[in-house]
Amino acid sequence: MEDVMREGPVHPVKIQDNTFRDGHQSIYATRMKTEDMLPIAEQMDEMGFWAMEVWGGATFDTMHRFLGEDPWERPKVLKKYIKKTPFTMLLRGQNLVGYRNYADDVARAFVDKSCEVGIDVFRVFDALNDTRNFETCVERIKANGKHFQGAICYSLTGRHLGGEVFNLEYYIGLAKKLESMGADSIAIKDMAGIIAPYDVFELITELKKVTKLPLHLHTHYTSGMASMTYLKAIEAGVDMVDTCLAPYALRTSMPAVEPLVVALQGTRRDTGMDVLRLIALGEYLEQIAPKYEQYLAKNKLSLIDAGVLAHQIPGGMISNLVGQLKEMKALDRLQEVYDDIPRTRKEAGTPPLVTPTSQIVGVQSVMNVVVGRYKMVSQPFADLLCGLYGKTPTPVDPEVQKSVLKRYKKGKEPVTGRPADYLEPELDAVRAKVAGLAKTEEDVLTCAIYPATGEQFLKAKYGVDQGKETATTVVAGQ
């Protein structure tokens, strides 16, 4: 039998380090402070990572809301220490780093400014895999000469790749589409950690036949399959994978880099990285661990969530469901919500469960269970059924759509165009509103994306009297 790892061309696996973004987002609720990144920043730059993910996802939200840090400063500061390794950010397409579609003028200005503060690689995704939600961002990424990584949200019809919706043809079609849009690489984004080893082998093998673009795999350890998944993806020829330093790895985070480096040593896919230096960097994260211990989930003995193999609900979504049920004094109905989610999701057009669709479907399922099916409907859920997030992978259930849109103030007819085409420009109004407060374009953009908490942050930043005002809490699902 041919040994795929020893015979054939040398093809080192490239490693993206996610410690400073998805790592602490996954295990510490995105609470890592910039100052705690600096002591190892220069050494991280020496490791030979393909890129380091340092921004995007939930970082923008938590930094200005909870950490009292200006989100725009982090890439600028890190860039002073990390001069060689490109920076990656996770961009939610037209949702940018928020939870709704923003108008094109906001999206353009946001991407331009992100390039300016030091982002080199943009991993762009859309929760519905509707590539029309990429268009405006991509235009600016390319215009700035940056790397556009088109990401495909990985979802399943059943327990494995295939079936009616999320089959090979679906992913191949998306990859070709992203390539035609000018993608510099393609990422499979498995946010729930549900991609199985032999499925990924098949997926990467088939994608390699239709595109020459580098393929990048992002997965989470949640279900426990991720190490096996990486090995099979690497055997199939995947070009890049995401990892974290060991202390920020596993659990609901990424696989750890250290065992991967050693596992591949001496093969034709050897990363060439120095495991001893990586281990030393991990020691530092162990030293600062007590500062962040309060954010670490301690409610289970198990480090993996075997349940996700059954219900496929991402970890972040489960904690939101639990919080919402607690508020409604209905925590005993969690199992009913788990049972309702697949049904509500199907009725809503089978969206992949990722921010923001995970929250939208989750919140609706909770209301369906506690109040009665569609007796109460959240605004974002109605927007989703109206087509305002984009085209869903399967058609929305016509009966549910009719009953929801009957009570919907934006109109009774669903729309089919590019979602942002229904939005008026927003930036000038925001600029006028925060004229006395915002001192930079970055400040204006912060308020454009997070109106209430953004303004509150700026008041704190500039020492403006905050009086008795409190920011409106953004409810899950918004």
The binding site for Co ion (CB under 5 A) comprises: 22
Q: What values do phi and psi take at 215, rounded to 5?
A: -110, 135
Q: Which residues contact 244 (CB under 8 A, 6 or more apart)?
A: 17, 18, 19, 22, 23, 253, 254, 255, 256, 257
CA distance 132 to 134: 5
Closer residue to Co ion, CB minimum distance, 230 or 381:
230
Q: Looking at beta carbons only, is 18 or 456 nearer to Co ion?
A: 18
* Residue 313 beta carbon to Co ion: minimum distance, rounded to whole angstroms: 15
- Smallest distance from Co ion to CB 230, Å: 14
User: Closest approach of Cβ 378 to Co ion, in Å?
Assistant: 24
Write down the least CB distance from residue 194 to Co ion, Å: 12
Strands 147-153 and 215-219: unpaired
Q: At closest approach, how far in Å is the CB of 289 from Co ion?
A: 21
Burial class (CB in 10 A: 0-12, 13-18, 19+), 89: buried
Peptide bond preceding 255 in cis form (omega within 30 of 0): no
Residue 101 to residue 112: CA distance in whole angstroms: 17
Nearer to Co ion (CB atom), residue 246 or residue 447: 246
Nearer Cβ to Co ion (22/258)? 22
Closer residue to Co ion (CB): 62 or 456: 62
- Nearest-approach distance from CB 195 to Co ion, in angstroms: 12
d(CA 439, CA 364): 39
Work out how close the CB of 300 gets to Co ion at its nearest, in angstroms, rounded to a whole number: 20
Count how many residues are written for the chain: 478
Report which residue's Cβ sits closest to Co ion.
Answer: 22
Helices in 312-378 by DSSP H: which ranges? 315-327, 334-347, 357-370
User: Can you tell me the distance from the alpha carbon of 13 to that of 240, in angstroms, rounded to the nearest whole number?
Assistant: 6
Sign of the alpha-carbon dihedral angle for 15, 20, 25, 29: positive
Q: What's the min distance (Å) between Cβ of 396 and Co ion?
A: 27
Closest approach of Cβ 312 to Co ion, in Å? 15
Q: Is 176 helix (H, G, I), strand (E, B) or coil?
A: helix
Give the nearer residue to Co ion in terms of CB position, either 187 or 281: 187
Report phi then psi at 243, rounded to 5: -140, 175
Cα(22)–Cα(28) distance, integer angstroms? 10
Tokens representing 293 are 């211990």
Pairing verdict, β 121-124 and 147-153: parallel
Chain-centre distance for alpha carbon 389: 16
CB of 154 to Co ion, least distance (A): 11
Annotate 102-157 with DSSP letters as a single string.
PPHHHHHHHHHHHHHHT--EEEE--TT--GGGTHHHHHHHHHTT-EEEEEEE---S
Rounded to the nearest 5 percent, the helix, strand and coil shares of the chain are: 50, 10, 45
Q: Which is nearer to Co ion, 243 or 344 (CB)?
A: 243
For the bound state, the minimum distance from the C-beta of residue 363 to Co ion, rounded and expressed in Å, comes to 21
Closest to Co ion by CB, 129 vs 446, is 129
Looking at the Cβ atoms of 22 and 426, the one nearer to Co ion is 22
Distance CA 382, CA 377 (A): 7
Residue nearer to Co ion on the CB measure, 152 or 405? 152
Q: Which two tokens stand for residue 113?
A: 């400014």
Place of tokens 């039998």: 1
Beta bridge partners of 148: 122
Cα 374 from Cα 104, distance rounded (Å): 32
As a whole number of Å, the CA-based R_g of the chain is 22
Q: Residue 315 or 451: which CB sits closer to Co ion? A: 315
Nearer to Co ion, 305 or 426 (CB): 305
Q: How far is the CB of 22 from Co ion (least distance, A)?
A: 4
